[in-house]
Structure 1
Amino acid sequence: MADEIKSIGFVSRFFGAFGQFFKYMGNGQYAARCSAVSEGQKFASEVEPEVVTKTVEVVKEVEVQAPKLDTVSEDGALQLLQLLQQEARFIDFVKESIDGYSDADVGAAARQIHAGCSKVVSQYFTVDVVNDAPENSRVEVAADYDPKAIKLEGRVQGEGPYAGTLIHPGWQVTSTNLPKVSNTDSLHILAPAEVEV
């Protein structure tokens, strides 16, 4: 039986979901793959071959473990959520059900949220690609590659080096410039309740 998948903490989930949102919006091929997976389609690497000959394959499984932290500071995550709410009403968008809205309405809202989120990211973070080669180009991956920076898809065999097609360049934060916060007591208030009197 496969090992049980361990739960991911809030900070990792937030930054993961935030990154996946822009990856989905910015990469049509990635969005198509996500849609195919959500409909139950399998990748070629997941389909068992009908006939197995006398060939023996040695497949190397690359396991990436999340860093284990004794304590996690939530201040930066809360501060980022505050900024996203102020500039893009991000929390309003993700907390409201969009089932009753048309695709055009959701698209119009997404355009405004995209502009606000883009402003926050560009103002407070310097973000660069991990691999600057054009998407869909052939790239070489060294045998001693960093599995945190490069994720190999498909059947990974042998010890490398590897050659493949770049399907996404990846993103990395090279610097941060979040405002200094002297009082963290109210960081958990992402947006105050608004009362008209």
Structure 2
Amino acid sequence: MSSEIKPVSFAARFAGAFGQFFKYLGDGQYAARCQQLSHGELLAKEVDAKVITETVEVIREIEVPAPVLDTVNTDGALHLLQLLQQEARFIDFLQESIDDYSDSDVGAAARQIHKGCAKVLSGHFTLEVVNHSPENSRIEVAADYDNSQIKLEGRVTGEGPYQGTLVHPGWQVTDIRLPKVSRTDRLHIIAPAQVEV
């Protein structure tokens, strides 16, 4: 088993979350691996060889097939990157190493990036929670629940309905208002180089 994993700071989590979003969006294989991890499968390095030889009781197995994509339309992802760069200097922040900055310095930068990203998000997407119950409240999950909307965690045994504590209400997009782009051949230029003359 690997050594203890150290917690990641807020600034690093904030920066990493956006990078992971676009990697998940653009790479079907990566998205499939993320789904496997989210359903409790271990990484190869986390599996103890001794455990493999033991009899394991399967508590519950839920298979969510990964989408099979012949091609990926990247136009929307590239346009969203353009908007995040324009309003929040998002790519500049992620491409610069923050190792030499203090947490307070990174936090100050994150505040500006947060403001710009929030502007893009609220201006182009309508978001609603998946479950409207208060966090940390006890809720009931029906036996025929939709596992794309609800993720059961912990020791799940038997058939539902299930009783549990709502850890996070989830998010869903109910409306997208990204402007139409007429020149898709130029979307790969996220931000043009700026030259002062």
State if a TM-score over 0.5 links the two structures.
yes
Partner of residue 33, structure 1: none
1:146-161 superposed matches below 5 A: 146-161=146-161
Report if the CA contact (8 A) 2:127-2:172 is conserved: yes
Mapped to 2, the partners of 1:15 and 1:119 lie a distance apart of 23
1:23-172 superposed matches below 5 A: 59-172=59-172
Q: How many residues align?
A: 151
Report if the CA contact (8 A) 1:89-1:113 is conserved: yes
Partner of residue 26, structure 1: none
Match status 1:191 vs 2:164: no
Mapped to 1, the partners of 2:90 and 2:178 lie a distance apart of 18
Question: For structure 1, which runs of at least 5 residues remain unmatched after alignment?
Answer: 1-8, 17-55
Report if the CA contact (8 A) 1:75-1:184 is conserved: yes
- Please give the TM-score of this superposition, normalised by the length of structure 1: 0.71
- Taking a change above 3 Å as real, the CA distance of residues 140 and 161 of structure 1, as seen in their structure-2 partners, is same
CA deviation profile, 1:100-120 (whole Å, cap 9, x unmatched)? 101111000000000000000
- Taking a change above 3 Å as real, the CA distance of residues 147 and 15 of structure 1, as seen in their structure-2 partners, is farther
- Please give the TM-score of this superposition, normalised by the length of structure 2: 0.71
Partner of residue 176, structure 2: 176
Mapped to 2, the partners of 1:65 and 1:109 lie a distance apart of 39
Partner of residue 24, structure 2: 13
Instruction: Give the % identical residues.
Output: 72
> What SS class does the counterpart of residue 111 from structure 1 fall into?
helix
Offset at residue 57 of structure 1 (A): 6.5
Offset at residue 156 of structure 1 (A): 1.0
Offset at residue 155 of structure 1 (A): 1.0
Offset at residue 65 of structure 1 (A): 2.9
Once superposed, what is the RMSD of the aligned Cα atoms? 2.4
Offset at residue 193 of structure 1 (A): 0.9
Question: For structure 2, which runs of at least 5 residues remain unmatched after alignment?
Answer: 1-19, 28-55
Offset at residue 142 of structure 1 (A): 0.7
